[in-house]
Amino acid sequence: SGVTEEDLAKDAESTGDVLTNGMGRNLQRFSPLTTLNKENVKNLMPVWAFSFGGEKQRGQETQPLVHDGMMYVTASYSRIYAVDLATGKEVWQYDARLPEGILPCCDVINRGAAIYGDNIYFGTLDARIVALNAKTGDVVWNKKIADYKEGYSYTAAPLIVDGLVITGNSGGEFGIVGEVQARDALTGETVWTRPVIEGHMGTLNGKESTMTGTLNATWPGDMWKTGGGATWLGGSYDIETDTLVFGAGNPAPWNSHLRNAGTPTEGNVGDNLYAASRLGIDPKTGEIKWHFQTTPREGWDYDGVNEVVAFADKDGNKKFATADRNGFFYVLNREDGKFLNAWPFVKDISWASGIDETGRPIYNEANRPGDPSKAADGAKGEMVFASPSFLGGKNWMPMAYSQHTGLFYVPSNEWGMDIWNEPVSYKKGAAYLGSGFTIKPNYEDHIGSLKAIDPATGEWKWEYKNEAPLWGGVMTTAGGLVFFGTPEGDFIALDDTTGEKLWSFQTGSGIVGQPITWEADGEQYVSVVSGWGGAVPLWGGEVAKKVNYLNQGGTVWTFKLPKQ
Ligand code: PQQ
């Protein structure tokens, strides 16, 4: 009953299991199931709840996997559980022994596992990747991705393509270098590595392969050596074009004036490739096939990591869509990543007035935080109020695409920040920002905003407002439902065409997890993990104070309709 490449390839259509992060390689988070629908969802009831136990709580951002009568679910502090699907009883548990001194920037979270053959794969906060036997939880192999003492960590779900386990890395706030690595899934041996900051050398089968980009073309001096661009959200695989798609985070440090290689208006000098970009990568060799940079000369912490969803438009044209931290929703060509269109998906974007026909932002330079070296005291550059905040119009939490409505359901947040730059120099294992900031809500009554967006026009068909910032994944179904959770603890189903609330259930802690659905014996099940945390309570400034009453937790909730 080992999971094959074919099983992974048809995960989006097969309804009996959930084998990939994203509910299919296209990351649509769309289920063809209709058993549960607009008429009967009001009767949805919990069937079991599984607690992660212990005193370790904090953010539970995971997406469970379902296979062969078991659920595999990761938890905070690098834990993973196998749970009996029928009863909710634990079958095995594995806790990674984390060293003192790990440096995750944004909570001790994990976003999920991968499954292939007889193994389960998951990453740990000390920047390792572990293969476990799916039946027993015994360790098959355990490999180091990078040195946690330098600030590297790992929070994403690994990706499996053609017998390779493909991973990104975290650590962008510590001047690390973003990289994608591919290992043999059976042995854990490294096949290739691809740093995403130009000037760095890739490897293939233990030998140097090619340099990323052109040394110093878009970076001044040695800045590329500690250039950031963490590939921290993992990536996806587009089978149609045989391409891995990975995003790269913000360039380091945040202070963009330190990263200018010349006159910013000339060519792409100072763009800091390939930070704040999406990259198309050849899965066999690790060679970069294309790139699209969302925020060149990034200066607001607008990481370019957000997920890229593959879909077909109304005329059947194959496209990508991605909702960036910077507040713009992009549609790209699937063959070469070329820019097709972009529209705002949040209100009040202040740093750019739009995106030009080449895909480059039309900057509002007055909204770039000032250069501290030009300040009278040389210590604090001019402060600006910029929107969206550095936590983004949308952060890591995945959107969903419905083949039923042709709409994207985008979890967004309406907030801004005071931001200023400060002098900074690189020190191994220390924060490398050169910025200070305070996040503020843009509206009195809501920050969270789930929008239904038409990818042909950028039009918002409806908006569902939530008081606290939305921080969990979205799922949609052919039954006409949109599922998501709130930090206030409600797991909610909306009507996919009107946004009307059809059902909700209070889970006892904030939801920052990613819902799934599957079918067994003719019944449709829905699961979501509840447990408040992630970046908002840690970095949210005035917003964090506003939501500091929310309780932590760690529970998998599973629902279905009562038996007729
Ligand atoms: N992680 C969260 C979260 O899980 O709530 C939010 C963020 C991260 C961010 O806003 C980040 O900028 C971020 N950056 C990095 C990085 O640059 O390496 C890593 C992570 C992470 O691994 O969780 C986050």
Atom of ligand 1 nearest to the CA of 301: 12
Average pLDDT, the chain: 96
Token pair in block for residue 399: 């959107």
Q: What residue ranges in 52-206 does DSSP mark as E strands? A: 65-67, 70-75, 79-84, 90-95, 114-116, 119-124, 128-133, 139-144, 159-161, 164-167, 179-184, 190-195, 201-204
Tokens of 456: 């042909």
Phi-psi region of 335 (alpha: psi -120 to 50; beta: other; left: phi over 0): alpha
For 345-434, list the strands marked E by DSSP: 352-355, 361-363, 384-386, 400-401, 408-413, 415-421
From 78, 395, 397, 417, mutation site for ligand 1 pocket: most ligand atoms within 8 A of C-beta: 395
Q: Quick one: which of 166, 127, 168 has its CA closest to 147?
A: 127
CB atoms within 10 A of CB 510: 29
At 56, the pLDDT band (50, 70, 90 cuts) reads confident
Grouping H, G, I as helix, E, B as strand and the rest as coil, residue 323 is: strand
Could you give the maximum distance between any two Cα atoms of the chain, in Å? 74
In this predicted model, what pLDDT tens digit does every residue of 81-92 receive, in sequence order? Answer: 999 999 999 999
Any ligand 1 atom below 6 A from CB of 169: no
- Is position 301 annotated as part of the catalytic site? yes
Mean pLDDT over 163-179 rounds to: 97
Q: Which ligand 1 atom is the nearest neighbour of the CA of 178?
A: 18
Does residue 131 line the site of ligand 1, with CB under 6 A? no
| Alpha carbons 193 and 143: distance in angstroms, whole number | 14
Q: In whole angstroms, give the CA distance from residue 515 to residue 496.
A: 16
CB proximity list for 71: less than 8 A, separation 6 or greater: 64, 65, 82, 83, 84, 85, 527, 556
How far is the centre of ligand 1, averaged over its atoms, from the C-alpha of 421 (Å)? 20
Average pLDDT over residues 214-239: 96
Q: Which protein residue has the closest C-alpha to ligand 1 atom 23? A: 106
Burial of 157 (0-12, 13-18, 19+ CB in 10 A): buried
Ligand 1 pocket check for 533: Cβ under 6 Å = no
Please indicate whether residue 473, judged by its CB atom, sits closer than 6 Å to ligand 1.
no
User: Ligand 1 within 6 A of 241 CB?
Assistant: no
534 lines ligand 1 (CB under 6 A): yes
Nearest ligand 1 atom, CA 172: 17
Q: What is the pLDDT of residue 146?
A: 98
172 lines ligand 1 (CB under 6 A): yes
Atom of ligand 1 nearest to the CA of 303: 12
Q: What is the DSSP string of 252-275?
A: SSS-GGGG--S-TTSTTTT--TTT
Residue 171, ligand 1, Cβ within 6 A: yes
Q: Which of 60, 61, 106, 111 to mutate to test the pocket of ligand 1 (most atoms within 8 A of CB)?
A: 106
- pLDDT tens track for 500-521: 999 999 999 999 999 999 999 9
- Give residue 375 CA to ligand 1 midpoint distance, Å: 30
Distance CA 542, CA 540 (A): 6
Give, using CA atoms, the residue closest to atom 13 of ligand 1.
106
**Res 246 pLDDT > 80:** yes
pLDDT of residue 77: 98
pLDDT digits (tens, 9 = 90+) for 390-427: 999 999 999 999 999 999 999 999 999 999 999 999 99
Ligand 1 centre and the CA of 179: distance in Å?
15
Residue 26 CA to residue 10 CA, distance in Å, equals 10
Give the whole-angstrom CA distance, residue 556 versus residue 502.
22
The pLDDT, as a whole number, for residue 260 is: 85
Q: Whose CA is nearest to atom 10 of ligand 1?
A: 391
End-to-end CA distance of the chain: 32
pLDDT digits 0-9 by tens, 269-308: 789 999 999 999 999 999 999 999 999 999 999 999 999 9
Give yes or no for a contact between 347 and 235, defined as CB atoms under 8 angstroms apart.
no
Ligand 1 in contact with 106 (CB < 6 A)? Answer: yes
Mutate-to-test residue for ligand 1 from 102, 105, 395, highest number of ligand atoms within 8 A of CB: 105
pLDDT digits (tens, 9 = 90+) for 110-136: 999 999 999 999 999 999 999 999 999
* Residue 16 CA to ligand 1 centre (angstroms): 32
Q: Specify whether the CB–CB gap between 64 and 18 falls below 8 A.
A: yes
Residue with CA closest to ligand 1 atom 8: 106
Contacts 24+ apart (CB under 8 A), 220-223: 220/259, 220/260, 220/261, 220/262, 220/270, 223/258, 223/259, 223/272
Q: Is the CB of 490 under 6 A from ligand 1?
A: no
Does residue 395's CB lie within 6 angstroms of at least one atom of ligand 1? yes
**Would you state the pLDDT for residue 1?**
64
Whether 139 has a pLDDT exceeding 80, the answer reads yes
Alpha-carbon distances of 128 from 43, 52, 79, 187, rounded to whole Å: 43, 21, 13, 14
* Nearest partner of 61 among 370, 441, 546, 487, judged by Cα: 487
Q: What is the amino acid identity at position 386?
A: A
Q: What is the DSSP letter of 90?
A: E
- Cα separation, 249 vs 301, whole angstroms: 8
Query: What is the average pLDDT across 429-456?
Result: 97
The rounded Å distance from CA 46 to ligand 1 centre is 31
Query: What's the DSSP call for residue 542?
Result: H
- Secondary structure of 489-534 as H, E, C letters: CEEEEEECCCCCEEEEEECCCCCCCCCEEEEECCEEEEEEEECCCC
How many angstroms separate the alpha carbon of residue 535 from the centre of ligand 1?
7
Judged against a pLDDT cut of 90, whether residue 563 lies above it is answered with: no
Spacing, Cα 85 to ligand 1 middle (Å): 31
Q: What's the 232 CA to ligand 1 centre distance in angstroms?
A: 7
156 ligand 1 Cβ < 6 A? no
CB of 276 within 6 A of ligand 1: the answer is no
| Atom number, ligand 1, closest to the C-alpha of residue 173 | 17
Question: Quick one: which H or E segment has residue 212?
Answer: none
Evaluate the CA torsion angle 139, 144, 148, 153 in order and state its sign: negative
ipTM for this model = 0.99
Q: Evaluate: CB of 170 within 6 angstroms of ligand 1.
A: yes
Q: What does the DSSP 8-state code read for residue 40?
A: T
Closest residue (by CA) to atom 24 of ligand 1? 106
Residue closest via CA to ligand 1's atom 4 equals 534
* Residues 6+ away with beta carbon under 8 Å from 137: 80, 82, 91, 92, 93, 94
Return all residues near 521 (Cβ < 8 A) that are at least 6 apart: none
pLDDT the model gives residue 377: 87
pLDDT at residue number 365: 92
User: Per the residue annotation, which of 17, 238, 271, 301 is the catalytic one?
Assistant: 301
Q: Is the pLDDT of residue 268 over 90?
A: no
Residue 204 tokens, joined: 């293939």
Q: Is 61 in the pocket of ligand 1 (CB under 6 A)?
A: yes
Q: Is the pLDDT of residue 564 over 80?
A: no
Q: Rounded to an integer, what is the distance from CA 337 to the centroid of its chain?
A: 19
Mean pLDDT of 197-224: 96
- The answer to whether 250 and 256 are in contact (CB under 8 A) is no
pTM of structure? 0.98
Average pLDDT over residues 434-439: 96
Band of residue 264 on the pLDDT scale cut at 50, 70, 90: low
pLDDT band of residue 444 (cuts 50, 70, 90) is: very high
Least confident segment among 9-23, 183-197, 367-381: 367-381
- Which residue among 303, 391, 511, 529 is best mutated to probe the pocket of ligand 1, counting the most ligand atoms within 8 A of its Cβ? 303
What pLDDT does 266 receive? Answer: 66
Determine if ligand 1 sits within 6 Å of the CB of residue 518: no
Contacts of 407 (CB under 8 A, 6+ apart): 401, 452, 453, 454, 455, 461, 496
